[in-house]
A and B are shown apart, each in its own frame.
Chain A
Amino acid sequence: MITLADRILIGILVIAALSGIIYPAFEFRAEGGVAQVIISVDGKVVRTAKLDGHHEVIRVEGTDGYDVVEIFDNKVRIVEADCPDKLCLKQGWIAWAPQQLVCLPNRVVVKIINSLKSDVDAVI
């Protein structure tokens, strides 16, 4: 079950992993940057991929199992996972920075750090 603490902690881990430091705060979306997604396991970035319309299926080895991430049509989803609760699959497609998908049992986070059409600072 993803608790508030987990969500915020994951957010911080991702920021820390990306920027190396927390201060100055990491700015997720550079103006005019390339739309892309980062995949991290337990706070460490294991893969980045562009959201440029291409189709790709990525198998991610998490801490307790695997997740399969699908990128298609400038969006991304977790399409398969061996976690017990499968909550990550129910999160569906995401396309907007800074939306993220979380598979907590496997400590896998898929986060859009830049998207072509994003003009929001958080998505809830």
Chain B
Amino acid sequence: MTVYGADAETAVKLAVEEMTRLELLLSNYNADSEISKINRNAGGTAVGISLETEQVLEKALRYAELTNGAFDPTIGPIVELWGIGKKNNFVPDESQIKAALSLVDYRRVELDKVKHNVRLPLKGMSLDVGGIAKGFILDRMTEILKQKGITSALINGGGDIRTIGKKHDGSPWRIGLQNPRKTDAIAAKISMMKWNAVDTSGDYQRFFERDGMRYHHIFDPATGKPTQTLTSASLIYSEGVVDLLPSNVLLVIGKEKSLRLLAKFSELEAIFVDVKGAISFTPGLNGNIEVDR
């Protein structure tokens, strides 16, 4: 996090406190989080949730509907089954995948916005909102920094970026997009002239390789397996955009379907890196992107 402004120290401290607070609500890695509680109660009673968790779940279910389930916040059983990074290169068999997939269906989530609670009706169902919680948290941190008078900042959440204003020398923030297959190379550089958010999903962040196949942490809810379409996809946009998508859904549906979907989201720009390393982007980025060809 790079922050400029009067009393930047206080602003950073408050933003980090907010990050910690929200992560305690939303993380799958924390057994005491609200998400973990909901998952533990699957098949049982509804769990009361905070306003923030409700907002994230509402957003998640909206994305699921918009993408016909290509994004599915109930992907938890598949994430658990594969355990990428935790299970020593484990590849489940088809019957195990089928069993886990039978528990993946966002339409079964019972979110009660009046009583502010949520219930997963089947034992074994579980939520994983990691794909969007990060952006949600970064947005809140950005808000806090702004409220505290910060006029220039960059927050790097590892894949997702938020910026405030321009750099202290007046030039726009520039974001480098790592080459998915050559970690010491940059695939593209984006000048944040018109935008202040970049969300990136890639198959290079958490993965293992076995028998020449790359198994990574972004799953297709239709197959229960890691996606095979793109190595990286980024969405570039400005805060306050009404209609948004999670970037990992672009890896699920691939470039062509993504472009058709993005046609409905005029304020979203996108960059794709395919499995052969070819880089392409939406026309709105012209003039503000340099691509390493």
Instruction: Give A residues with C-beta under 8 Å from B.
Output: 1-5, 7-9, 11-12, 15, 21-28, 75, 85, 87, 90-96, 99, 119-124
Quick one: which of B11-36 are within 8 Å of A by CB? 12, 16, 19-20, 23, 27, 29
Which of A11, A28, A123, A124 is the most central at the interface, judged by chain B CB atoms within 10 Å of its CB?
A124
* Docked-complex contact A121 and B173, CB < 8 angstroms: yes
Instruction: Give B residues with C-beta under 8 Å from A.
Output: 1-4, 7-9, 12, 16, 19-20, 23, 27, 29, 85-86, 133-134, 137, 154-161, 167, 173-178, 183-186, 189, 198, 200, 206-208, 234
* Docked-complex contact B184 and A12, CB < 8 angstroms: no
Report the Cα distance A121→B20, complex, angstroms: 24
Report the Cα distance A104→B9, complex, angstroms: 25
Which residue of B8, B19, B156, B206 is within 8 Å of A122 (Cβ)? B156
Nearest A residue (CB) for B7: A23
Known: A12-B1, A124-B175, A124-B177. A3 touches B27 (CB 8 A): yes
Report the Cα distance A85→B88, complex, angstroms: 8
* Docked-complex contact A23 and B186, CB < 8 angstroms: no
Report the Cα distance A58→B7, complex, angstroms: 38
Nearest A residue (CB) for B232: A124
* Docked-complex contact B176 and A96, CB < 8 angstroms: yes
The residues of A that contact B186 with a CB separation of less than 8 Å are 96, 120, 123
Known: A7-B157, A124-B161. A24 touches B4 (CB 8 A): yes
Known: A23-B8, A24-B8. A11 touches B23 (CB 8 A): no
Nearest A residue (CB) for B199: A124
Nearest A residue (CB) for B188: A120
The residues of B that contact A121 with a CB separation of less than 8 Å are 2, 154, 167, 173-175
* Docked-complex contact A124 and B1, CB < 8 angstroms: no
Which residue of A4, A22, A122 is within 8 Å of B137 (Cβ)? A4
* Docked-complex contact A7 and B9, CB < 8 angstroms: no
* Docked-complex contact B175 and A85, CB < 8 angstroms: no
